[in-house]
Amino acid sequence: MSPIRKIAVYLMAVLLLGCVVQGEMLWLLELLEERIPSEQSERDAFSIYQETMESVWGELVYFPVPDSSVNEEATTAFENTWMAERTYGGKRSHEGIDVMASIEEAGYYPVVSMTDGAIEQIGWLEKGGYRIGVRSLEGNYYYYAHLHSYAREWEKGDTIQAGEILGYMGDTGYGPEGTTGQFPVHLHVGVYVPLGADQEMAINPYWMLCYLEDKKLKYAY
């Protein structure tokens, strides 16, 4: 990697997320370079990366779990478990961040969309349980998994506004449809971006959740 490129990546890290994530940005950029045509320059790759990250940060509006206006004990917490090892269904990396619930009750916490967009995926996945996927207006994909239930009978193509309730936090997944109780109640948040590649690439939602912590709605639950 050229010195000029290292400096550019460092400056972008400071500008967007803080220098603490410099290594993560370098890792993402290297993955991107593996997927773009060889005739494209490093500058092209970096431009794609910069534009994509700016599109994600520019469309974020609300934290995915609102605060309760009636119960101070109903709180949430999350840690940076990005790429932590998971073993269900084979050894793999955790492509998201888990928002944990202080009240261990499936169906209690509402889950809202972080962005405007449209429903692209809905229903059961073995690993994700009842999940919902929202494609944002900028073309990025937001994945909300392990839901207890949905706010209504969503259909693919339904439009979504930031802050609209998608469903309710649960503990579904890791088995055939309807499986619950394999892990604590929580919300798995995943963010996927094209980055000029043939397939979408997962990026770390941790920094986005940190940014959105003071942008929580309040609902009576």
| Digitized pLDDT (tens) for each residue of the chain, 221 residues in all | 444 444 444 445 444 444 445 556 666 666 666 655 555 555 576 777 788 888 999 999 999 999 999 999 999 999 999 989 999 989 998 999 999 999 999 999 999 999 999 999 999 999 999 999 999 999 999 999 999 999 999 999 999 999 999 999 999 999 999 999 999 999 999 999 986 556 788 999 999 999 999 999 999 99
How far, in Å, are 24, 95, 147 from residue 179 at the CA level? 34, 21, 11
Alpha-carbon separation of residue 141 from 20, 43, 165, 191 (angstroms) = 25, 25, 17, 6
Phi, psi of 132 (to 5 degrees): -140, 135
Reduced to 3 states (helix: H, G, I; strand: E, B; else coil), residue 69 is coil
In contact, 59 and 18? CB cutoff 8 Å: no
Residues of the chain within CATH 2.70.70.10 domain(s) are 67-219
CATH assignment of 67-219, among 3.40.640.10, 3.90.1170.50, 2.70.70.10, 3.40.50.970:
2.70.70.10
